[in-house]
Chain A
Amino acid sequence: MKKIIRESTLKYTISFIGIIAMIFSTFALHAEEEKIGKEEGGFNAGEMIFEHVLDSHEWHIMTIGDHHVSIPLPVIIYDKEEGGLHIFSSSHLAHGHVYKGYKIALDGDYEGKIVKAAGGTNEEIIDLSITKTVFAIMFSAVLMLWMFISIANSYKKRKDKAPKGLQSFLEPLILFVRDDVAKPAIGSREYMRFMPYLLTIFFFIVINNLLGIIPIFPGGSNVNGNIGVTFVMAALTFIITSSVGTKDYWMHIINMPGVPWWLKFPIPLMPIVELVGVFTKPIVLMIRLFANILAGHIVILGFMAMIFIFANLFGAVAGYGVSVVSVAFSVFLSLLEILVAFIQAYVFTLLSALYFGMAMEKHH
């Protein structure tokens, strides 16, 4: 009987992997010690990147020298123990100050969140603050309301005339969602019921993605890269799919016709597989959008961080040299991000429409 792997090859492979692991672990050891050095004044790339993609209670615009220019956002907390609602500006909590018994925890389990200064936990606080992501969502909601109410009015005023201005910019997109996404997926009789939801989702995702690429206020907030936001959108799709599901749809999940009985009766294998499928579809929708947008932001920020890393390691001249390459790559990646913004919105809307269509299918 031939041996598949020679014994010596196996031994060498295992020892090779073991040695590589130990080499990497010594780097991890050094990293622990160097982290302290970085906090003292070096440049910490990981910290900068996560600062830009995570949520925060103030909107940081720029840092001139040692002076931070940022917009403090309102903090709204409801204290479950004392039963009081506190609303104040987050400038009171800047730099770790304690205000009315609350502070922003600088490290530990609750890093970045508002905790009670005495206890150090945030279990008793319901945090309803307007954070960076919430403010960006409100801003794009106001932008969308303005855009669509104004074109609705101009359609009413200019009935039967050619579209003009903002109408002619948005009309191809709206007709694209109707003719190429909703009608083929849902069918030409029922699609009108779902058009408001599909149009809202499509434009919400596109506008937030495009605003996320603009680096300065009011853009530059990572809305769709926040799993909470994409979770809500996927949950809405799931709720609508389940509520328009016909009897045939649920029959196909619980009691699929044409499948032998022993896959359903003592242990309901097929129903479990189908039920898992019902839940995985919205979860995959959520993760696809979240990971695409977050990865795009992290890569662009990483290229920008390279400039500062090189400047710290090899001096300012290396920083300038690398900045040419870095900026070129970042511009290219930003153009790619614009394409990804549209593609991700299209895929989310198309898949939602497909799920609605499949749920409403009548038995032939």
Chain B
Amino acid sequence: MIKEPPFFENVNEGDELPPIKKGPINRTQLVKYAGASGDFNPMHHDEVFAKNAGMPSVFAHGMLSMGFAGQLVVDWCGNEALKRLGVRFAAITWPGDVIMCKGKVVKKYQEQGKNLVDCEIYCENQNGQKTVTGSATVELPSKKG
């Protein structure tokens, strides 16, 4: 169902976002992602090409991981609240990987009459290696209306 944002008053620095689990990633998902996004860089779907480029296999688009990070934040605060999402791609996601996406509130503040919260977010694989690190800014409603 549609996620309603938490009230600003009920959110505190240090609060954790409910984690989400994605994957295991498989090659069919990479092909679906290539088709959906229009990113046909062959490194993500052409095993022969990827191996010739020195990679052990095809690997996921970075933007697939950013999509997971977006889901993490929206599952917590709803779509409307999300004002900024930024990520750094830290490590490659491979077929077979299981990805956990996690985040926490690091800053709660008011700016130009808006109730804002900054979150740190990351995705990590089954070995605890971070594949994506980033941050999100969300605007939350107040109980005062």
Say if A and B assemble together. no
Binding site for B on A (CB under 8 A): none
Binding site for A on B (CB under 8 A): none
